[in-house]
């Protein structure tokens, strides 16, 4: 990924399995930030930081390099709740 000042290069992939396993060139991801933004819209993801759902974006697969970890089902449930809250779903 192209480094941008003040932005993390880490992404938490949040798209559905059928998207992740498909042939498309992009998946959906949110930025993992190291500082706690003190927001329900940025749940913690273990030692990797906080998943800021307000930064959801299409991520080119070819820009993804190394998997650094796997979020737990509880962490992903918190991310899912945050995404629903941000979209008023």
Q: Please list the pLDDT of the chain residue by residue as tens digits (89 residues).
A: 555 555 678 999 999 999 999 999 999 999 999 999 999 999 999 999 999 999 999 999 998 988 889 999 999 999 999 999 999 98
> How far apart (Å, rounded) are the C-alpha atoms in residues 70 and 20?
14
What's the number of domains the chain is made of? 1
Residue 44, phi then psi, degrees to nearest 5 = -75, 145
Full-model pTM: 0.85
What CATH number does the domain containing 79 carry? 2.30.30.110
Q: Is residue 4 part of a domain?
A: no
Cα angle for residues 23, 27, 4 (degrees, 5° grid) = 135
**Which residue, among 38, 47, 42, has the nearest Cα to 69 in the 3D structure?**
47
Q: Is residue 25 part of a domain?
A: yes
- Give the structural domain span for 54: 11-87
């Amino acid at each position: 990924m192209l480094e941008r000042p003040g932005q993390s290069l880490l992404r938490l992939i949040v798209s559905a399995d059928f998207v992740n396993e498909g042939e498309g060139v992009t998946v959906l991801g949110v930025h993992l930030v190291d500082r706690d933004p003190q927001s329900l819209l940025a749940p913690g993801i273990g030692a990797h930081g906080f998943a800021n759902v307000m930064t959801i974006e299409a991520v080119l697969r070819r820009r993804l390099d190394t998997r650094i970890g796997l979020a737990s089902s509880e962490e992903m449930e918190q991310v899912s709740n945050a995404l629903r809250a941000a979209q008023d779903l």
